[in-house]
Structures are given as C-alpha cells and as structure tokens.
Structure 1
Amino acid sequence: MDRIEKAIDNLLIGSYGEINSRLQQVSCDIEIKGTNSKGYCYSLRVDANGELRLKDLVEFIDTKLVDYAIPKKDIDEARNYFNNTGSASKVLALKKRAKTLFTDLEKTGEGGETLLYILVLEYLKIPQLISKMTLKTSGQVHYQGADGIHVKFDNEKGKLNLFWGESKMYKKMSTAMDNCLSCVKDFSLDPQSAESVQQGDLELITSNLNANVKMTF
C-alpha cells in the first residue's frame, strides 16, 4: 500500500494558487436533491477596468498543456535531466510534443478538458492518473472516453478511488449542466459488462499504467 500511495503522491503537480487570480469561488457544497452529489461554482474575475479576465485564463491554460497532455513520468525525467545538465532541451521538447497532440479543428472540447484538469488539480488536489492525450492515434482526432481520469488513495479504507471527469462548454450554463449530468448518469448506470463504458476506461488504465505512473520497489 505504501508504494501505491507514494506513486500516487508523485503524480500530484503543485502550484502557488495562481488560478485564484483568474477565477473566484461563487459558492461551494451545493447539495443536489435526490443525489449524493455536491456542486461547486467558480466564475471569471474582472480586471481593474472591469473586464473579464478571459484572455488571462486562456494564457494560463496554455502554460498547463505539458502538465495535462504529457505523462508525469516523462515530465519527471525531463526535470531530472535539467537538474543534472542545466539544459532545458528536454523540457522544450515536451512542450513541442504536447502541442502536436491537440487538434486545430474549429470545434473542439480539448480546451475545456484542459481546464477541467486544472480545476480538479488546483481545487480538489486529485492528480491525473492517465494522460489520455498521448493515446490518440492522431492530433487531428478527438479521444473517445472520459474527459478526465484522476485517482486518490483512501488511507482509512485502504482503497484506491478513481474519479472520472466530464467537460462541457456551451453558451448557456443550464444546457451545459443538463448535458454534463446526462453523460454522468449514462456512465454511472451503464450495466457492468465487457461492452460497458466503464470497462473500456478500466482497460485503458490497466494497459497504460506503467507508461504513466512510476512505481518504486
């Protein structure tokens, strides 16, 4: 258990809370009747001129592309190379590699998926388990499956908890929420079988775990 917990802790990428200068919490712990769910709402902050800090948020998301798209294992190797040689070549190579993984299609949800990753990491402190972007067959296609796969170890129960994320971006918040909750419902109630959505993602995790998580023995 100690090895698993240590490996998961190593997946966590810290910060100094820079996201808080772009977003502000509107409400938290909102109970959703008839469910075991809770809601947390955040909104864009405004600058000194009263303008929404949207461009600032987009630029911030751009700085997180490597963290989101590249396995933490590869990031650690590039950091070690920099520490040992003083050369940033492998770090820059990761940035170039990350950008090739994103589609340039006009309609894409990859920006929202990256923001989802940032929110889960920044506010819930739950690290990403699988960097699904590296599993795409082409940068010009979208990856099918959960928008985010995160993991946390429960010390008290000795269990590994998996978290699936869903990202939606619409002009109307109500439409986004309806579609998001509908997808979560379908995913949660999909009967367990070899063809279930859950089984596909679980196979994705087990087959790519070694490429994403560094285990020490």
Structure 2
Amino acid sequence: MSVDQVTTGQDDLDGLSRGAQSQVRSFFHVLGERLIPGTSTSYRVYWLMTDANGNDRTNALARHIYYRITDYCTPRSRIDEAHRLDALEGGNMHFSQLQDEARRLFLDADASGEGGELLLFFLLEAELRIPQILCKMPLKTNSQMPIHGVDGVHASLLEDGKLAVYWGESKLYKDVQSAMTSCFDSIEPFLLDDGTGIAHRDLTLVRDNLDVKNRDLALKLVRYFTDDAPERNLLEIRGACLVGFDNDPHEHPFFNSPSELVDTVGARIEGWSSSIGTRVTNRKIDTVEIEFFCLPLPSVKKLRDEFKTLIGM
C-alpha cells in the first residue's frame, strides 16, 4: 500500500467523524491529559462544567447525547438516504423517523439506558476524531444475531498503513473504583484476544457490516478483517474506556479556567490516574494503547434518570 493510498484512506476515514471539539468543551473542562507512566494508556479527566448561576450541566449533557442517538444507532447509508429524500420532498420527516427509530432501538435492545455508550461515542468522534465503523445497535435487536460484545467499535488508519481498531467500553457507577474494575473486567478479554477467541465474532461483524459510506474505502478496510489477506497483519487492537462516577457536587462550582480547577482537585486527578495505571499493569494490558476518559459527575443517577426520561424508559 503506497503512502498516497494510506493518506487518502486516512482522510476518508477521519472525515467520517461527527461532532466538533467545541461541543465537547461546552460541557467539560479537560484536565490531567497524560500518558500514564509505564503504560500505553492515554488519560483524560472530563470535568462537567457549572454555569455562572451555579447550575451543573447534567441535564443539558443528557439532552445532547440523546440527540446523537441517530448517529450512534443508524448506519450512515440510511442517514444519507433520509437526507436525500427530505431534500427531494421538503421538510425533515424522514430524518425525524430515524430519530424515533433509534429511540425505539434503545428500548428494544434492553439497553441500560444510562447513556454511557453514547458519551463514549461522542468523545471518540467529536474530541479525538476516531469514527465509529460498526453500527451495533440494530444487530442487538436481531434475534438471529445475539451480540453481547463491546459498547462500540471505532477505527483510525495510521500513517504506517496499520488500522487501529478501538474496542469501546463504558461504565456509569456511583463509585469510581467499582466503575474502573467493571470497565476493565469487560474490555480486558477483547484486548488480550488474538482475534480467534472472544473478539472473533465482533471482528467478523465489522467485516460484514462496515459503516463507512465510501465503497472504495470499505473494500480497502475489509481486507484488514480478512484472515488470508496481507493487511490482516496490520490490524492493531486498541481500547477506549469511559467511566462516569459520583463526585462531591460541592466540587463543581463555577471555574474560570481548567488551571484554576486543577489547583482545587489535583490530588483526585492524580489518584484516579494511579488507580488506572495499577489496573492496566496488573492485568498485563500495559502495552495496549488505550484511550481512557474519566468523568466525575455531581450525580450519575441524575444523568441516568434524565436520559431514561428522554428515550421514554
């Protein structure tokens, strides 16, 4: 594969990401960005903002991720077709139907309704520009195709020709340590698998259900998931983890800048980083590249309840 081919593929794949970093920064201060020493885990704390009147933005965040359920649940080809029909006929009826369909998918899939998977989707696409390449929600509601794997599958083409595939896992718990343990319990088998064990089904699903719109890009990517293709040796498995947990709501007052906030809660940021590093090392996944998002919230229950109300649970 030539350098020009790789660059073109990178541009095509990166261009599939939805959302903007400015949207993320309208809800969160981003703190403590670092590579955790002795690991390949990139760590960031996303601290929910409070407005100038002292109101935390939990409900606004729940609404924002709710509005993203169509992108999360619906293949890009169907979204494009809805836009085409709306442009042809006038109005937004077809796209509105997709939003309603996505809401019902959440209900039919017996999902937790917490919204953690949508938060992870939002941060990977809008913040890191790593697009989703498998739309799993429709598969979860297919009785002929039971699926209990990771929360999301995202990917990025690297400059050296490798395809980095990110298994995504999210947990929203009251307790931070429980959230971290549960998240790693879920994703560890996928990160340690060589593609022939627990992860084989999801790799096959990606191959057969690539959600990238561009036919040439799909034909290029499918080779990374084909066992007898040379590109299969260039498939690199990575992780993307999100844990949301309760934090003292009195620690969420209005701050003018992230540096001002770090001065107040720096010890906790360091403590969470240390806990993640210890778990990654003990589970022998320290050499696997992982994007780890840490979300201290005034109340996980408040976020969960608002999101459940929006989707009608």
Output the TM-score relative to the length of structure 1: 0.84
Question: Where in structure 2 are the equivalents of 1:1-217 lying within 5 Å?
Answer: 1=5, 4-5=9-10, 7-15=12-20, 17-29=22-34, 31-103=35-107, 108=112, 111-137=115-141, 143-154=147-158, 156-190=159-193, 192-193=195-196, 196-209=197-210, 212-217=211-216
**Separation in 2 of the partners of 1:151 and 1:106?**
26
Q: How many residues align?
A: 209
Q: Which runs of 5+ in 1 are unaligned?
A: none
| CA contact 1:101–1:138 (8 Å) conserved in 2 | no
**Matched letter for residue 61 of structure 2:** L
**Separation in 2 of the partners of 1:200 and 1:106?**
20
Shift of residue 184 of structure 1?
A: 2.9
Say which structure is richer in strand.
2
**Separation in 2 of the partners of 1:104 and 1:200?**
22
Shift of residue 87 of structure 1?
A: 2.6
| CA contact 2:133–2:154 (8 Å) conserved in 1 | yes
**Separation in 1 of the partners of 2:75 and 2:52?**
37
**Matched letter for residue 159 of structure 1:** K
For residues 57-79 of structure 1, give each alpha carbon's deviation from its aligned partner in whole angstroms, at most 9, with x where no partner exists: 11111111111111122112222
Greater RCO structure (CA 8 Å; 6+ sep): 2
3-state SS of paired residue (1:38): strand
Output the TM-score relative to the length of structure 2: 0.60
| CA contact 1:128–1:150 (8 Å) conserved in 2 | yes
| CA contact 1:187–1:198 (8 Å) conserved in 2 | yes
| Greater Cα offset, 184-193 or 41-50 | 184-193
Shift of residue 56 of structure 1?
A: 0.8
Q: Which runs of 5+ in 2 are unaligned?
A: 217-313
Shift of residue 19 of structure 1?
A: 2.7
Shift of residue 82 of structure 1?
A: 2.7
Identity %: 35
Shift of residue 7 of structure 1?
A: 4.6
**Greater Rg over alpha carbons, structure:** 2
| CA contact 2:21–2:127 (8 Å) conserved in 1 | no
**Separation in 2 of the partners of 1:191 and 1:129?**
20
| CA contact 2:105–2:137 (8 Å) conserved in 1 | yes
**Separation in 2 of the partners of 1:214 and 1:107?**
27
Structure 1 residues 162 and 128: alpha-carbon distance in aligned structure 2, compared to 1, 3 A threshold: same
**Separation in 2 of the partners of 1:178 and 1:109?**
20
